[in-house]
Amino acid sequence: MAQAKKDMADTPDQQFNDPRARVRAVWQAGVDAVGGEQAVTTALRARPATEPDRIIAVGKAAGAMARAAIDHFKTACPVLVVTKHGHGAGLPDHVTLIEAGHPVPDRNSILAGQALKDAVGAMAPDSHLLVLVSGGASALAELPRDGMSLDDLARENRTMLAAGLDIHAMNLHRKTLSQIKGGQLLAGFAGRSVTVLAISDVQGDDVAVIGSGIGSVPQDAPFAADISVVASNRVARDAAMQKATALGLDTVENSEILYGDVNDIAASLAPRLIASAKGISVFGGEPTVVLPDPAGQGGRNQALALLLAREIQGIRGLTILVGGTDGSDGPTDAAGAIIDGETWGPGAADALARADSGTWLDRRGALVRTGPTGTNVMDLLVALRG
């Protein structure tokens, strides 16, 4: 993330004159606006909560969210953070950290699921629990139902990912495999009250869907519950548009339409962008991609970027950045890619067919790498026309 911040330190004139720097600055502003630390800090200041007796945080933004809560309450209460490998840096010594696999669960995911269940179940009758949830929790923490092994669980996840299912369908199925999803985790809470703060990575911002409902409260729960979504794709898109205006750019469109297969999105969106008025358009959502076996290197954002490069080849004055707001795209270290009318070239079609868009785009110097961003509100596409 430090390198990404350094990359963004161009002067306003440099950002204004370089289309690639412009779209990256606008995209980064959207991501920064929904950072886990900022989102949780703002929420706790706006809606003061009882000081927690325990904090649990799970998801790709769990580390950043936990840091904000610890700083706000100035507390040394027990804290359990479950996040993706490489996403847990900078936490205080008293925090118990488990880094696990994503998008496919690993052995640490099972350890994390058991640790979460034990932590919630051990709380006293008069206690208050703070739950911080963000996208990625479905894979990062799991206790599979009886009779299901880790290999079975991983196979189910790989099958869903390869089939191109959307997050709602995937998380609905994940609930059927789990002992802690869909409200089951908090069903084991015997305390007085729960506060749930969530960063949404799903269409509709439903806490019952985020992380397969690991932070949702069961019906007829005997404890008081306060549940809030503190950051979303809408917040990120609005901040991106504000950044565009600050850079002196016209704003054209702000929509959450990136749903469905990447091929269909590219085919419908490219003509729209080619015909667009001059200025910045921002789109959000979470596309799906069907993977061959074996699949190459890349994720849905890199696939969509390369598909768009094919559709706009030869078009002057159109620059597009597609990236995951968490800083990773599928099982890669890139958030996505920046493309324009000159990106498409020899070997690109073969790379698409092999789901190896990441390798090809990397050779072209088109990938966007930020490192972990401390948030996860699906994906952002920023397009500059003119």
Instruction: Using DSSP bridges, classify how beta strands 128-133 and 54-58 pair: parallel, antiparallel or unpaired.
Output: parallel
User: What's this model's pTM, rounded to 2 decimal places?
Assistant: 0.90
Give 315's strand partners: none
Task: Please give the mean pLDDT across all residues of the chain.
Answer: 92
Write the Ramachandran bin of 317: left for phi over 0, alpha for psi from -120 to 50, otherwise beta. Answer: left
CATH of domain 2-33+234-385: 3.40.1480.10
Give ranges for CATH 3.40.50.10180 in the chain. 36-231
Task: Supply the pLDDT for residue 337.
Answer: 98
Residue 68: the pLDDT is 97
pLDDT average, residue stretch 159-166: 80
Q: Give yes or no for residue 177 having a pLDDT over 50.
A: yes
- Other beta carbons within 10 angstroms of residue 293's beta carbon come to 7
**Residue appearing with tokens 């890199």:** 302
What distances in angstroms separate CA 236 from CA 100, 262, 326, 343, one per listed residue? 26, 21, 12, 27
Sign of CA dihedral 356, 357, 361, 362: negative
Largest CA distance in the chain: 66
User: Which range, of 154-163, 274-283, 348-357, averages the lowest pLDDT?
Assistant: 154-163
Instruction: Report the distance separating Cα 291 and Cα 275, nearest Å.
Output: 31
What pLDDT score does 14 carry? 52
Q: Where in the chain is the domain with CATH 3.40.1480.10?
A: 2-33+234-385
Please report which confidence band the pLDDT of residue 351 belongs to, taking 50, 70 and 90 as the band edges. very high
Predicted confidence band of residue 201 (pLDDT cuts 50, 70, 90): very high
Residue 93's pLDDT band (cuts 50, 70, 90): very high
Q: Which residue has the higher pLDDT, 47 or 266?
A: 266
pLDDT reading at 1 higher than 70: no
State pLDDT tens for residues 272-295: 999 999 999 999 999 999 988 889
Is 10's pLDDT higher than 50? no
* Secondary structure (3-state) at 148: coil
Sequence-distant (6+) residues with CB within 8 A of 41 are: 68, 71, 72
Q: What is the pLDDT of residue 164?
A: 76
Summarize the confidence of residues 95-100 as an average pLDDT. 98
Count CB atoms within 10 A of the CB of residue 86.
11
Average of per-residue pLDDT across 248-270? 97
Residue 111, both tokens: 């350890």
Average pLDDT over residues 106-112: 96
Residues 176-194 have a mean pLDDT of 94
Using CA atoms, how far residue 171 sits from 116, 143, 167, 185, 290, in Å, is 19, 14, 6, 15, 17
Amino acid 9: pLDDT: 40
Q: Residue 169's pLDDT band (boundaries 50, 70, 90)? A: confident
Q: How many CB atoms lie within 10 A of CB 386?
A: 15
What's the whole-number mean pLDDT along residues 36-41? 96
Options 3.90.1010.20, 3.40.50.10180, 3.80.10.10, 3.40.50.2300; CATH of 36-231: 3.40.50.10180
For residues 372-379, give the mean pLDDT: 96
Task: Quickly list H helices, the chain.
Answer: 2-7, 12-17, 19-33, 36-46, 62-73, 107-121, 137-140, 150-163, 167-176, 233-246, 262-274, 300-311, 348-353, 357-363
Q: Is the pLDDT at 8 greater than 50, yes or no?
A: no
Tell me the mean pLDDT in the region 204-216.
94
> Within a 10 A sphere around the Cβ of 219, how many other Cβ atoms?
7
Write the pLDDT tens digit of every residue in 301-325: 999 999 999 999 999 999 999 999 9
Residue with the bigger pLDDT between 117 and 148: it is: 117
